[in-house]
Amino acid sequence: MREKRLHIAFESGRLSYSENEVDLYNSGINQILSVAAVRGHHLYHFSIEDVYKQKTEAYARASILSLPDSWHGNYLKSHIMLKKIDERPLPLSQIDLCFFRADDVRHTSTPHLNLLRVVQQKGVLFENLEATLSTCDKCELTRRTDVPQPQTFAAHTFKEAMEAVNQLPDREGCFILKDRYGYGCGEQVHRLEFKDPRLKEVINMYLSTYNFIILQEYCPEVKQGDIVVTFFDGELLAPMLRVAKGQEWKTNYSLGAVQIPYTLSSQQEEIARTVQQAFPECRYFSVDMFPSGKVIEVNAFPGGEGLLDLYGISVGNIIMDQMESELLGRIETGTAQIKAASPPAETRWEPLHKHYKPFIQPVEVIDVFSREKYELSVEELIEFRPQSSDFILSIPHSGVLIPTQYEDYFDLNTQSLTEIDLFSDILFEALGGLQVVSRLSPFFVNMNREREGTQKPEVPRHLKNPPTRYITIKDKPILKKDYTPNQIEEILKYYDLYHNLLETLIGQMKKEKGYALLIDGHSMTSLGLGRAYDKGKERDNFVVGTLGDTSAHTRIISSFVEAIRESARAHGLGLTLAKNEPYTGGFITRKHNDPENHVHVIQIEVSMDTYMYEPGDESVVKRYALKQSRVKITQDILRRGISAASQSAERLHFKT
């Protein structure tokens, strides 16, 4: 038994899939579970349905697992001796290591999924949410790589499915249909016949079952088997060939396939490594391919039994050795860092972290709302928050901080607060996405203005001033004295950092998915106050800015607008929506959109009265307070709009 004991949880849909009391139905996971049990760690199990939040703490209703004192047998299969000895609420913050099988997770909308991020604050989520979702989505492989693959289409509707069927090549009269968000084991993969008289009925059945499906060319070479190439932390562990048993055409080991040692050709290895490098967030990972080099799919948590039987490689020992090396060292020293999850020098977010490196010293800032002073790093002032990878979220105007060296440059009264999109960070940050948030006040540096200002006639008057010369909503300069040229140069470093982060995320998302979707989130006063042309007019609750439907593909815009409108109508509160009135889109929308090259940007403004008691309310007590129930309703409406836009972008840009 080790000197230190880790609290290790295993997440999967069920505690057992067989007659054994504990069996997670994956030989790789079971091997890890067995090694962890024999080494004396505290073991728990829960499913995603067991995760919940109570007040500010995230919990799981967890089963406590233990080996009997008198257990005996093969230690790599000791999981069959494990017993559930108790059940109790387990704070996720107490988990050192959670193995996330995720066979009960489909995509980002799975309830309570983001609560698992609590595990990562102290320990390791293996695989993390990004890795899990990227391998669960069978479209990711096509988005991220150009390696040879069977011809593939994604479908969400019956029309899309039948269009795909008509384009698929006829290989022995068959094609393949899969659950787009399948978790493996072959159960969600089906071979259909083009001439089946019930084909339309069958496709409708699978659509109703899975909601999203993949239709793929059938490759007769599957009769010769497929190759599984397994990696851990970037290292190629071993390849093996799987050949289907008897009349079975699927090559899954769980369906009886025979596993055979295999030597990769240089071309096959190059293809496998290309795919592995396209998924840097994944640690224990396999590439499934035909001997011809066509890649079928990728999987998190490949089985471990074949590697053990054929090569004597125990993934349970390898992975637990590495986890103990990372985590036990951290528990003993109390440090806040662990070894990088992936061996490549450039991790997924390293390109973003590089933008922060020129900023060394912390900055003393004052909160213009509370007048409290803090010392914060630049990472806290221009914050990058990766929550989910299906869209990018820009929140440029919610900041209430300015460096104290500039405190005397402003009259920090209640009127200055009307220049801030107050609490818009609280409103938008719950929506997920790859978030870039400015904590600096927009009247200190405005991220939504052109760097040098502009006099272009097509740009509205309120967008013409540069980032360091703020004009209030009452059309007056806010600075009591001008910045010096040196000060402007220093302040613009924050501005450049903000836009560099956005540009890097756009480039990375486009590389990974084939497109980028950026949502620029703002709030606005409920009454036009001056700078825009609607002075004195009451505004709609939601204003979508699309530069006259040119900042994104019209289908994406339409999906976004209609989902918000329908969701708002469903709540029965009389919430309204307008497009491009009075705001068509600020500089962020203008700078970063490029729909012809698959970069789509939408600005969304929410009137403050929709979710808070804004400045000017009669009640001083209520002023600036959030309307708690309305916040949740507004978030639900926005979430549905973004989800619809994201799904539309996926369907539009999925590459065959």
Q: What is the pLDDT of residues 250-309, one digit of tens each?
A: 877 666 678 888 888 999 999 999 999 999 999 999 999 999 999 999 998 888 888 888
Evaluate whether 625 touches 645 at the Cβ level (below 8 Å).
Answer: no
So what's the pLDDT on residue 108? 80
* Cα end-to-end distance, the chain, whole Å: 51
So what's the pLDDT on residue 2? 41
So what's the pLDDT on residue 396? 96
- Cα 352-353-355 angle, rounded to 5 deg: 75
The residue with tokens 């499934």 is 288
Judge whether residue 595 has pLDDT over 80: yes
Evaluate whether 609 touches 617 at the Cβ level (below 8 Å).
Answer: no
Q: What is the DSSP letter of 450?
A: -
Q: What is the pTM of this model?
A: 0.53
- Cα 321-65-94 angle, rounded to 5 deg: 65
Partner residues linked to 542 by β-bridges: 577, 606
The arithmetic mean of pLDDT across residues 429-445, rounded, is 92
Q: How far is CA 565 from CA 561, 562, 606, 637, in A?
A: 6, 5, 13, 8
pLDDT tens figures, 343-402: 333 446 778 888 998 888 899 999 988 889 989 999 999 999 887 778 999 999 999 999
So what's the pLDDT on residue 99? 96
pLDDT tens figures, 417-427: 888 888 999 99
Domain boundary assignment for the chain: 7-127, 151-218, 350-653
pLDDT tens figures, 180-192: 987 656 678 899 9
pLDDT tens figures, 5-21: 899 999 999 999 998 99
What per-residue string of b and e applies to 411-434 under the rule 16 or more CB within 10 Å gives b? ebeeebbbbbbbbbbebbbebbbb
pLDDT tens figures, 122-154: 899 999 998 888 888 888 999 999 999 999 999
Judge whether residue 331 has pLDDT over 80: no
The residue with tokens 């084909």 is 199
Greater pLDDT, 575 or 110:
575
Q: What percent of the chain has pLDDT over 70?
A: 92
The arithmetic mean of pLDDT across residues 495-519, rounded, is 91
Residue 604 phi/psi, 5° resolution?
A: -130, 125
User: How high is the mean pLDDT of the chain?
Assistant: 87
So what's the pLDDT on residue 176? 93
Confidence grade of residue 90 (pLDDT, cut at 50, 70, 90) = very high
Q: CA 324 to CA 6: how far, in whole Å?
A: 8
Q: CA 501 to CA 421: how far, in whole Å?
A: 21
So what's the pLDDT on residue 493? 95
Query: Any idea which architecture 7-127 has in CATH?
Result: 3-Layer(aba) Sandwich (3.40)
Class assignment of domain 350-653? alpha beta
Greater pLDDT, 630 or 415:
630
Query: Which two structure tokens, joined as six digits, stand for 648?
Result: 């539309």
What per-residue string of b and e applies to 299-338 under the rule 16 or more CB within 10 Å gives b? bbbbbbbbbbebeebbbbbbbbebbbebbbebeeeeeeee
SS3 at position 491: helix
SS3 at position 188: coil
Residue 323 phi/psi, 5° resolution?
A: -65, -40
pLDDT tens figures, 310-327: 888 889 999 999 999 899
Of 552, 562, 651, the closest CA to residue 592 belongs to 552
So what's the pLDDT on residue 341? 29
Q: CA 381 to CA 378: how far, in whole Å?
A: 5
Pairing of strands 258-261, 577-579: unpaired
So what's the pLDDT on residue 348? 62
Evaluate whether 450 touches 410 at the Cβ level (below 8 Å).
Answer: no
Judge whether residue 47 has pLDDT over 60: yes
| Sheet bearing 295-300, strands edge to edge | 258-261, 235-243, 226-232, 284-289, 295-300
So what's the pLDDT on residue 183? 67
So what's the pLDDT on residue 460? 76
SS3 at position 586: coil
The arithmetic mean of pLDDT across residues 572-598, rounded, is 94
Evaluate whether 63 touches 10 at the Cβ level (below 8 Å).
Answer: no
CATH of span 151-218: 3.30.1490.20
Q: What percent of the chain has pLDDT over 90?
A: 57
Do 151-218 and 7-127 have the same topology in CATH?
A: no
Q: CA 553 to CA 593: how far, in whole Å?
A: 10
Those residues with Cβ within 8 angstroms of residue 399's Cβ, 6 or more apart along the chain or in another chain: 381, 420, 425, 437, 438, 439, 440, 441, 442, 444
Query: Which two structure tokens, joined as six digits, stand for 383?
Result: 């914050």
So what's the pLDDT on residue 68? 87
DSSP string, 81-123: G-EEEEEEEEEGGG-SEEEE--TT--STTSTTGGGGHHHHHHS
Q: CA 547 to CA 552: how far, in whole Å?
A: 9
pLDDT tens figures, 451-506: 988 888 877 777 788 999 887 767 678 888 889 999 999 999 999 999 999 999 99
So what's the pLDDT on residue 323? 93
